[in-house]
A and B are shown apart, each in its own frame.
Chain A
Amino acid sequence: MPSSPVPEPPPRPPSPVSRRSILLGGGALALGAAAAGCTPGGATPAGRTPVRFWSLFQGGDGARAETMYAAVEEQAPHLAIEPTTLAWGPPYYTKLAMASVGGRAPETAIMHLSRLPGYAPGGLLEPFDLDLLAEFGVTPDDFVPDLWRRGEYDDGVYAVPLDTHPFIVFYDTELADSAGLLDTDGRLRPIRSDRELVEASRALAEAGGGNGISFGYVNDDSQGWRLFWNLYSQTGAELRLPEGGPAELDHDAALRVYRLLAELFDGGTSPAGQSYQTALAGFADGRSGMLLTGEWELPYLQDSVENLGAAPFPTVFEQPGSYADSHAFVLPRQNDPDPERVRAAHEFVALMLRNSMTWGEAGHLPAYRPVGESEEYLSLSPQADYAAAAENPVLDPPSWFAGAGSTFHTDMTDTVRTALTGAGPEAAVEQLAEALDSWVVRENPTVGGTS
């Protein structure tokens, strides 16, 4: 069945969705999935066009995504969304790559924008049809240009961003208040230098809890790299990773970052070697006043911390910058794409973007500006308090080996461990430089003659 006439573009408020309609929607999805299983490659018996969608949205994200699918299906009843949620991290990208190689990939999927340089050149993705997207009311002007450009490769647009998810600070307003860190509005006072951050940490430790700032990264894939890269970008230093090398790293800037981290997480004021879960739990229990992590923890923290505040990552060096990544829609390569389904996938992407207010509630910053700049979004608290983080997003260096869930992240995170619990900041710089040098000379295994 052909898709319905084009709906009008203006962003609609997300319809409040009742539990029942989610359940019904879920039931319909299950039916749709079952039906699609019977007739692979064709429309479902009900005449709806199936859109298979892979994502790595678990927990609070997953619940929000379900709400959005239901809203999309309500607005476009001819779409049968068949979502598949897979575990976050390296296995997700393995599965996505394998699905593309097999040629029977889902119609659309979520990918971190930082992973695109490793995917688009390998022929694993199809470009978006911008005319089709425009037909469904989404154009490049609806996005921050820097973000949009990260989805481009050669002459095509391979990724359409759903959100920006920056690294921010969460704080306990009560502890921050007794540490004298709040302004008259009850918000975190700007922290303007590395000194001020260290002092804030000490003040928080004294104000109660025992720990100043929580940060968990040990045995985590990416967390150490996120904080390092965030701070490194604030020094204004460059990092160039030309293929074939040599890597251009500003050693002094890196040393400044590691030294600051070592001073903050000295094992006295704040623990030096925490795991992600331990840091999260410590902050949620009120045993530390501040937590450095991504805004994706907002749904959990809102449930568990009574006096929760949030702010963009403070500018402690020369220029503002927030580590960020972006969940983006991509079209994995299929051997035999069905034009009707491709069209449906475009419509699905457009509708998901226009319903991304729900996504904003989960803490992410909607990339689609008609939503992200709407009054409704900017009235969300504490989302509005850190929305400024989207102004200076610092994504991974564009390289085939970088990106969420990559071995590169794990390698980089390990340098932070060296700085904090190992041989110290100087050794960490050395380890970093060596790791970068070994990465740039490697060849991208996914490019090259396909046999």
Chain B
Amino acid sequence: MSAPARTRIPQRTPEAARPRRARRAIADASWTFLLPFVLVYGAFLGWPLLSGLWISFTDLALNGAGGDFVGTDNYAEALGDPLVWQTVGNTAFFTLITTVPLIVIALAMAVLVHAGLPGQWLWRLAFFMPFLLPVTTVALVWDYLYNDDFGLFNQVLGVFGGDGLGWLTDENVAMWSVAAATVWWTVGFNFLLYLAALQSVPDHLYEAAALDGAGAWARLRYVTLPQLRTVTVVVILLQVLASLKVFDQIYLLTMGGPGDSTRSLLLYIYDLGFTGYRIGYSSAVSYLFLAIVLVIAAVQVWIAMRRKA
């Protein structure tokens, strides 16, 4: 106990001073390495975050008019704005109907490919390829497929005597159509994560299970899936965040219609600010969105912590 106390005595011997000076030199140098990042982070995240928060308390317009402090008026208006709640609901619905298939289908594809389907490279390529397409291409292709009149889906339905669906023009169907296009487009990424995780499951676990008489199903159920738990948590986290910020494919496919049935919260925020010119109000709505995302993130962290404990 006395030894450490002695080092704190301010009698500096050259031997004691050297490491401290070295440490300080490292601390000084570390700032120069950190500085570029801190500057960029501050300029492009920190400052906008603060400035946006301030704007959300003003009635600033896109053309620079207004800008007076209005207190919490914008927030009060947002909480009473039915379209805010509807678009929050739409976003949540979209998140739900994309996240589940994006995990289940990705897992199924990964397990099938890992199980040794012939021509593995082809499957891997085919499943991952759509993810490489830019969203505009995806939207153009699916817009054609979904066309009421000459689209592939309705043509096929027509062959079987069906009436055809308003894939993007029926408000009960449109969100499902957008979700299906999204799943096709992005499932490849999750597939890749799962495939990598599958390949890192140690073989001896399967050997041990086989020795205990486990069949293919039991090996999947009791070895593979538990081993994938960590990557599943990561996939869910990434997927929920990606789905919450949905904008591009909806903007390109339906512009939020028919009615407001596919309008996501981000699309509404964009409309308010950039089409409606109400930057102050749209900032307030986006900070409400931030609050929602923070709550979701907190819940996820809490679940992760509990599991570890």
Contact = CB atoms under 8 A, between A and B. Distances in A.
B277 A450 contact: no
Interface stretch (A196-204, A275-283, A291-299, A309-317): A275-283
Q: Enumerate the 6 nearest inter-chain pairs by beta-carbon distance, A residue then B residue, closest first.
A: A451-B67, A445-B61, A219-B257, A218-B169, A90-B275, A278-B149
A66 to B, nearest CB: 24
Given A275-B169, A417-B258, A90 B274 contact: yes
Interface string B240-280: 00000000000000110111100000000001001111100
A143 to B, nearest CB: 28
28 contacts: A97-B63, A101-B62, A101-B64, A218-B166, A218-B169, A218-B258, A219-B168, A219-B254, A219-B255, A221-B255, A273-B170, A273-B258, A274-B149, A274-B169, A275-B148, A278-B148, A278-B169, A406-B275, A410-B257, A417-B259, A421-B258, A422-B259, A445-B276, A446-B62, A446-B277, A448-B66, A450-B65, A451-B65
Interface in A92-109: 93-94, 97-98, 100-101
Contacts of B149: 274, 278, 281-282, 287
Interface residues of A, number: 39
A273 B169 contact: yes
Nearest to B258: A218
B86 interface: no
A271 B257 CA distance: 18
B62 A98 contact: yes
Contacts of A91: 274
For chain B, what secondary structure do more than half of its interface residues adopt (helix, strand, loop), or is it mixed? Answer: loop
A122 B65 contact: yes
Contacts of B170: 273, 421
Contacts of B257: 218-219, 410, 414, 417
A149 to B, nearest CB: 25
Nearest to A95: B274
Interface string B168-196: 11110000000000000000000000000
Given A91-B274, A274-B148, A417-B259, A450 B64 contact: yes
A275 B68 contact: no
B140 to A, nearest CB: 11
B66 to A, nearest CB: 5
Contacts of B168: 218-219, 275
B147 interface: yes
B259 A446 contact: no
A84 interface: no
How many B residues touch the partner, as a band? 20 to 34
A354 to B, nearest CB: 33
Interface in A399-413: 405-407, 410
Choose among A93, A219, A277, A422 the residue with the greatest number of B CB atoms under 10 Å from its CB: A219
B60 interface: yes
A445 B68 contact: no
Nearest to A211: B149
Contact of B60 (A93, A414, A447, A451): A451
Given A100-B63, A219-B257, A417-B258, 13 more contacts: A98-B62, A218-B257, A271-B148, A275-B147, A275-B169, A287-B149, A421-B258, A422-B259, A445-B66, A446-B65, A448-B61, A450-B65, A450-B67
Interface in B46-62: 59-62
Contacts of B66: 445, 448-451
Contacts of A274: 148-149, 169
A116 interface: no
B160 interface: no
Contacts of A405: 275
A260 interface: no
Contacts of B64: 101, 450-451
B150 interface: yes
A262 interface: no
A450 B278 CA distance: 14
A227 interface: no
Contacts of B271: 90, 407
B276 A407 contact: yes
A414 B260 CA distance: 9
B258 A94 contact: no
A407 B170 CA distance: 21
A273 B169 CA distance: 7
A103 to B, nearest CB: 10
A101 B148 contact: no
Interface in A430-448: 445-448
A124 interface: yes
Contact of A414 (B67, B68, B147, B259): B259
Interface string A11-55: 000000000000000000000000000000000000000000000
Contacts of A221: 255
Interface string A134-177: 00000000000000000000000000000000000000000000
A445 B55 CA distance: 14
